[in-house]
């Protein structure tokens, strides 16, 4: 339980930092941009998220001794909110790299934090490790779209800086710890990932009409249309069922 809160804390800290960055950047572009916000729900009884047996690596067991980890493929919070859904604008025609930050994909307690990381094509991100056990970071994109690679990160290894060329939902895994699965969501334009309550906010959206897409692993997508007015927040809610 404590760990879930930790993840929550990290996510909210990230959101706070992003908000801060956005507030600062909005001073620069006074275009009166709006935002898209909403909730993603899971309909019906969510599938059971199995606990993870980490006995392969005693270090991982120890790191999670008080808060056993479970699979994150369908993470449904209280109230039916679905976490780790990436919400983005389909067919974005604005500037390619709206984010100026460098997202971080951490290997922490033998899990990926965040489980789903969104980046723009061409945007630099960092892969780092907080663990005292060796990982290998092995994204497996379709080689026809993006180029796969596989690098080791033993304890104390420096962060790796990378970027993806083309939009794609890329599964990432560690072969040493076969339960470690995460996603790099590479989409053009503004994007947000839902929190533990299924809530999201896409900032920095210029006024206009948009097709908004919500993606949940491994390959489910919901679509809706929304109109954003200058300086206003438009609402787009989604629901998924399995």
Partner 1 sequence: MRTTLLTWSLLLSVAVMLALPSISRAQLTTEDIASRDNMESHVAGYTGHVHDAAYDYRRYCVGCHGEMGDGNGEVAQWLEPPMWPKPRDFQLGIFKCRSTPTGTLPTDDDLFDTIARGLDRSAMPIWNQFTKYQRANLVAYVKHFSPRFVSEKPGTPIVIPPEPEVTPERIKNGREVFARVQCWKCHGVQGMANGPSASTLTDDLGYKIVPFNFTDGTRPKCGDTDRDIYRIFMTGLDGTPMPSFADNIKPDEAWDLVFYLRTFMQQKSKAKEVAKTLSLKPVSANP
Q: What residues make contact with partner 1 under the rule CB under 8 A?
A: 56-59, 132-134, 136-138, 140, 142-145, 147-155, 157-158, 160, 168, 175-178
To the nearest whole angstrom, how small is the minimum distance from the Cβ of residue 169 to partner 1?
10
C-alpha distances in Å from residue 9, one per residue of 14, 130, 196: 8, 16, 11
Q: What are phi and psi of 26, to 5 degrees?
A: -70, -25
| Ramachandran area for residue 228 (φ above 0: left; ψ -120 to 50: alpha; else beta) | beta
C-alpha distances in Å from residue 17, one per residue of 10, 14, 21, 27: 10, 5, 6, 16
Comparing CB distances to partner 1, the nearer of 146 and 204 is 146
Q: Which of 78, 139, 87, 133 has its CA nearest to residue 110?
A: 133
To the nearest whole angstrom, how small is the minimum distance from the Cβ of residue 197 to partner 1?
32
To the nearest whole angstrom, how small is the minimum distance from the Cβ of residue 140 to partner 1?
6
Q: Which residues, at least 6 apart from 161, have a Cβ–Cβ distance to it below 8 Å?
A: 102, 124, 125, 126
Comparing CB distances to partner 1, the nearer of 63 and 228 is 63
Map residue 100 onto helix, strand or coil.
coil
Comparing CB distances to partner 1, the nearer of 221 and 239 is 221
Comparing CB distances to partner 1, the nearer of 43 and 161 is 161
Please report which helix (H) or strand (E) contains residue 60, including its range.
helix 58-63
To the nearest whole angstrom, how small is the minimum distance from the Cβ of residue 121 to partner 1?
14
Comparing CB distances to partner 1, the nearer of 100 and 150 is 150
To the nearest whole angstrom, how small is the minimum distance from the Cβ of residue 90 to partner 1?
14
Give the number of other CB atoms < 10 A from CB of residue 140.
Answer: 13
- The DSSP symbol for 45 reads P
To the nearest whole angstrom, how small is the minimum distance from the Cβ of residue 127 to partner 1?
11
């Amino acid at each position: 339980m404590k760990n879930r809160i930790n993840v929550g804390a990290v996510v909210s800290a990230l959101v706070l930092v992003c908000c801060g960055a956005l507030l600062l950047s909005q001073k620069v572009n006074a275009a009166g941009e709006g935002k898209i916000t909403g909730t993603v729900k899971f309909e019906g009884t969510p599938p059971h998220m199995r606990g993870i047996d980490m006995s392969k690596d005693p270090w991982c067991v120890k790191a999670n001794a008080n808060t056993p980890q479970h699979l994150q493929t369908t993470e449904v919070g209280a109230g039916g909110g679905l976490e780790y859904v990436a919400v983005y604008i389909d067919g974005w025609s604005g500037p390619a790299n709206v984010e100026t930050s460098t997202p971080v994909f951490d290997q922490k307690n033998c899990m990926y934090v965040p489980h789903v990381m969104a980046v723009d094509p061409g945007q630099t991100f960092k892969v780092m490790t907080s663990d005292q056990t060796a990982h290998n970071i092995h994204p497996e994109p379709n080689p026809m779209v993006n180029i796969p690679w596989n690098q080791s990160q033993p304890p104390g290894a420096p962060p790796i800086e990378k970027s993806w060329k083309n939009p794609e939902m890329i599964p990432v895994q560690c072969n040493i710890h076969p339960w470690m699965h995460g996603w790099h969501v590479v989409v053009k334009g503004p994007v947000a990932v839902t929190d533990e309550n299924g809530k999201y906010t896409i900032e920095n959206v210029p006024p206009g009409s948009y097709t908004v897409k919500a993606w949940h692993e491994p390959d489910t997508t919901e679509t809706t249309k929304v109109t954003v007015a200058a300086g206003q927040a438009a609402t787009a809610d989604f629901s998924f069922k399995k």
